[in-house]
Amino acid sequence: MANKREMKKGINAGVYDVIDDCFSVELYNPDMDTKKTGAIVDEAVELRNALIAKVNSNVKKGAKKHFNEIIDELALGLSALQAKVDKLA
């Protein structure tokens, strides 16, 4: 990702995909307990907020490494959340 704005858009898009999947699971399984998907949505929002805060932090030295770590953390977080959603479906 070339700059902070694009990185934030990528974070938002990934998190919103997970949240959308949670709502889809609720829609297609109306008798399911919504507390489980609600917990996943809460985790996704926490991940988003934490990553956006890291992107907004003003890092001068080692910025490339810092942003690569954020990208890695995003990938791991989203895959873990998606795995939880897949278990519900």
pLDDT, one tens digit per residue, over 33-63 is 899 999 999 999 999 999 999 999 988 888 8
% of the chain surpassing 70 pLDDT: 98
CA 9/CA 13 separation, integer angstroms:
6
Q: Side chain identity at 89, as an amino acid letter?
A: A
Provide φ and ψ at 31, rounded to 5°: -90, 0
Closest C-alpha among 49, 54, 45 to residue 72: 54
Global pTM value: 0.92
The interaxial angle of helices 4-28 and 34-56, nearest 10 deg, is: 180
Q: How many Cβ atoms are within 10 Å of 25's Cβ, its own excluded?
A: 19
Supply the range of the domain harboring residue 17. 4-88
Query: How many domains is the chain partitioned into structurally?
Result: 1
φ/ψ of 83, rounded to 5, equals -65, -40
Give me the phi and psi of 15, to 5 degrees please: -70, -40
